[in-house]
Structure 1
Amino acid sequence: GEDLSPQKKENCTYAVTIETTCTMGAGTSNHISLRFGDTKSNEILVKHLNHKHVRWVDPLQPQVLDDVPRKPFQACHVDQFQITGQCVESPICYLYLKLTGNDDWRPGFAQVRALGGARLSSNYFYFRRYLPRHVWHGSDFCDREVTPFGIKYKRKVFVKKTASHEPLLP
């Protein structure tokens, strides 16, 4: 039989900008993972964002300080990462970060720009708090509904995929 499932393009590039706040102890050297996507179930997952560091951006100056070798996610710094992955088809509307390790990290904001598709870029996702460890933490603005009591968001739950040989039921 023919495979009628749509083919996913794997060659889109994204610029991910993440600010670490200036609070004392806000920086981290632990592993940071990132996942973001759109309403059409296109998701980009980066397990070790630290290895993708591209450049350090000075938020007060228009210049990029690439010639300064340093670790990402240090207090009072804005880091930019270049990610290549599956292409989104609608604007990026959710973003989650995960801190894996023993120290704390306090990001300020994160934003994803789809290079070559400005209309697909995300708005800013604000954190401004220490992230809990070993869990995905972020925002999902994809599925929302206006109610008389305010805007209601559906909660996104991430589960580990089971291997095909494992039974799903006990």
Structure 2
Amino acid sequence: MVNALSFLLLLFAASIFFPEASSITPSQPHLLKSFKIKPNQTNARSCTYTVTIKTSCSSTSYTRDQVSLAFGDAYGYEVYAARLDDPHSRTFERCSTDTFQIRGPCTYQICYLYLLRVGSDGWKPDNVKIYGPNAKGVTFYYNFFLPNGVWFGFNHCNRKSVSAIM
């Protein structure tokens, strides 16, 4: 009984001192037909982000499709990369990991990510990891073939209170 109580107290203390893992809770990505890229945020400070995209081992062997990405925080700061693909450099091959340096406005904790694929080859990302200067690294788990011509991804911004992000 004492050991069980001690264990529960330890779990409670761990949840206070280590509040949230760096991964977004796995859930199904969704279509977002009404997603609009925000105009340039010229007044915002500029930051560099490292984005690592792992292509699933069950994806097509390679893709010539155009791949774009947008991510941001609960305050409306958004980073947009119009084209990440480059068929000549073997980007997004099956079982590969590609890393990109992307500049954009500085964000707080990143809570949404959408990918856009345009083309006929098909592509299945496994996960996308984003590291920035003002926020913990975050991982979004896809493991779905992206539909063609629509933004597809995650929005976990409404799951947190604004005070929890700061």
5+ residue gaps, structure 1? 1-5, 54-68, 146-170
- 1:33 corresponding residue in structure 2: 68
Partner amino acid, structure 1, of 2:73: D
Structure 1 residue 24, shift from structure 2 partner: 5.2
Matched, 1:141 2:136: no
Q: How does 1:40-119 map to 2 (within 5 A)?
A: 40-50=75-85, 70-88=89-107, 90-114=108-132, 116-117=133-134
Structure 1 residue 31, shift from structure 2 partner: 0.8
The answer on whether the counterparts of 1:26 and 1:104 sit within 8 Å (CA) in structure 2 is no
What's the CA shift string for 1:115-167, capped at 9, x where partnerless? x33xx13421011010000000011111027xxxxxxxxxxxxxxxxxxxxxx
CA gap 1:122/1:39 in 2 versus in 1, 3 angstroms: farther
The two structures, once aligned, show a CA RMSD in angstroms of 2.1
What's the CA shift string for 1:57-105, capped at 9, x where partnerless? xxxxxxxxxxxx83210000010000011111x2001111010111110
Matched, 1:131 2:166: no
- Classify the secondary structure of the residue corresponding to 2:110: coil
Comparing both structures, which one devotes a greater share of its residues to helix? 2
The TM-score, its normalising length taken from structure 2, stands at 0.66
Partner amino acid, structure 2, of 1:71: R
Structure 1 residue 7, shift from structure 2 partner: 3.0
What's the CA shift string for 1:22-78, capped at 9, x where partnerless? 115253121100000000000011111126x9xxxxxxxxxxxxxxx8321000001
The answer on whether the counterparts of 2:126 and 2:141 sit within 8 Å (CA) in structure 1 is yes
CA gap 1:141/1:74 in 2 versus in 1, 3 angstroms: same
- 2:44 corresponding residue in structure 1: 8
The answer on whether the counterparts of 1:29 and 1:71 sit within 8 Å (CA) in structure 2 is no
User: Which whole-Å CA distance do the structure 2 matches of 1:19 and 1:136 have between them?
Assistant: 18
- Classify the secondary structure of the residue corresponding to 1:73: coil
Structure 1 residue 107, shift from structure 2 partner: 0.3
Partner amino acid, structure 2, of 1:82: Q
Matched, 1:121 2:136: yes
CA gap 1:143/1:26 in 2 versus in 1, 3 angstroms: farther
The TM-score, its normalising length taken from structure 1, stands at 0.64
- Classify the secondary structure of the residue corresponding to 1:143: helix
Partner amino acid, structure 2, of 1:18: I
Q: Matched residue pairs, number?
A: 119
Matched, 1:17 2:52: yes
Deviation >4 Å, runs of 4+: none
